[in-house]
Chains A and B, each alone.
Chain A
Amino acid sequence: MFTSMCSACHDTREFRGAEFEWDWRRQTVWDLYKTMAETMPEDAPGSLSPETYAAVIAYILSINEYPAGPIDLTPAQASMDSVPLGPNADKTGRGSSTDT
């Protein structure tokens, strides 16, 4: 999904590691989802389905070594807000949005 929707303009390097953690410090997966859905793709923000945005988010979480949950990530604020991002994020899976 990332390759087909994002890689023309973005490199995966932008979405993992220290730079990514800094960009999303003190924010949650929901903040990332909301920003992405409001601003991407740049020439047509919000034009993708919620499930597509969620799939891209899931990919970004995976390359940042967040553990996969038992079901697909869903674009729900309550669950996404429970997953913090940033350098101190809990990646153990507790409170994972995939638990919905």
Chain B
Amino acid sequence: MTVDRREFLKVATAGAALTLAAVDPTSAKTRTAKSVRQTNSQAPDIAVIGAGSFGMWTALNLLRQGASVTVIDPYGPGNSRQTSGGETRGVRTSYGNRRHGKLWTDWANQAIEKWAEWDEMGRDRLLPRLFYNTGDLILRDEMIPYLEDTQAFWDELNIPYELLEPEEVRYRWPWIQFEDLAVGLYEPRAGVVRARRAIESVAEVFLEEGGKLHYGHASLGDKKFACGPWFPKVFPELMGKRLRIPMGHVFYFALPPGDTRFMYPNMPSYGVPGCTGWPALGRDHRGFRVRTGGRPPQDPDESDRWIDKEFHERPREILEKHFPDLIGAPISETRACHYESSVDGNWIIDTHPDFENVWLIGGGSSEGFKFGPVLGEYIAQRVLGTNDDAEFAEQFRLKEEEFEDETEPNG
């Protein structure tokens, strides 16, 4: 379809669209990217709105696949308000609890390879290390379908793991306590990425390779755009009830002087009921990470990204229950971030219902960061028309279903 600039801006202003990547409708190259590539050698102009994990990895891959790319973000790549802007994010493949878990397991496994490659690239430039192969240990008091199905996916995809007896868990990591422990599922290739630094590094490479980055209010023409947890706020009609943006709470506990037990590589990433976390990472050792639930959705432009003392009791209960040697440890840092849950828990990678040159990309559902290197490549292929896998497209389609309850989170 053909969309003139005036019509495009009118619709966007009405809040009826969600955009992360858009082929510039003002360009002579308004036809689909695929047809552009097939019919002339001029690169399509693409604006990527949002410099988070999805946005920056997509932008870099679009650039490398031949597009001319501009990233627009109001606060910059790796900024403190981004979902990707935290200190660290986990990289694991244990998705037996997801209906689309086999695909996520496969792609997370590919992402581990890509994160390791990216880190190697960075070492050549003397950049700080980004990916830490911590391993990931899930502990439960009984074998549950989540673990059974995770194992099944791992077996099918030939991903290495260990099913540990309680005695073995206690032997390897005696500083972990788990009453009535029945099973430890250990994924040795899992790890942790320094999140905000990673996004900064992608942005740096993107700029070096010829991409453009615009700060200030995200805009295309005279219209503001946003992404991540801003989607429902900026595009309430289309996404207001298709995404929820609750906040997760992360605490970094300072370690006792000279105590290396809770540092990488002596402690794995871990998952216990209601909590995930990982060791302090060298060389700056921000602290031992405990991630609990958080608080209800709020306006992402107004919400504080630190955690009030009223929420400190829960992580301390986790320490008391599972890491008793850290009872009383001071909190060195707190971080709160929005995440974007889609109705079906899967990503949204689809064109706008009314504009085939406007792409909607989101719904990381608290797991999106780790997939950035893989998703960016896939999204770029979709946008440029070089990947037409119908099964994937259906999985990531913008679904008709909506959340049901009225909330006031989205501005």
Contacts and interface: CB of A to CB of B under 8 A. Distances in A.
B35 interface: no
Contacts of A38: 273-274
A19 B344 contact: yes
Give the interface size bracket for B toward A. 20 to 34
Interface string B288-299: 000011111000
Interface stretch (B49-57, B366-374, B401-409): B401-409
A83 B296 CA distance: 31
A84 to B, nearest CB: 12
Give the interface size bracket for A toward B. 20 to 34
B145 interface: yes
A19 B293 contact: no
A43 B313 contact: yes
Contacts, number: 58
A35 interface: yes
Interface string A33-53: 001001101111100000000
B273 A35 contact: yes
A45 B145 contact: no
B285 interface: no
B293 A11 contact: no
Contact of A11 (B97, B144, B145, B403): B403
A25 interface: yes
Contacts of B311: 43
Nearest to A38: B273
B5 interface: no
B144 to A, nearest CB: 7
Interface in A1-57: 7-9, 11-13, 18-19, 22-23, 25-27, 31, 35, 38-39, 41-45
Given A42-B314, A43-B293, A11 B274 contact: no
A42 B404 contact: no
Nearest to B293: A42
A13 to B, nearest CB: 5
B144 A27 contact: yes
B226 interface: no
Contact of B273 (A25, A39, A44): A39
Contacts of B145: 25-27
B268 interface: no
Contacts of B274: 38-39, 42, 45
A45 B405 CA distance: 23
Closest CB pairs A-B (n = 5): A42-B293, A39-B274, A8-B296, A11-B403, A22-B99
21 contacts: A8-B295, A9-B293, A11-B244, A11-B404, A11-B407, A12-B405, A13-B343, A13-B401, A13-B402, A19-B99, A19-B343, A25-B145, A35-B273, A38-B274, A41-B293, A42-B292, A43-B311, A44-B313, A45-B274, A45-B314, A45-B317
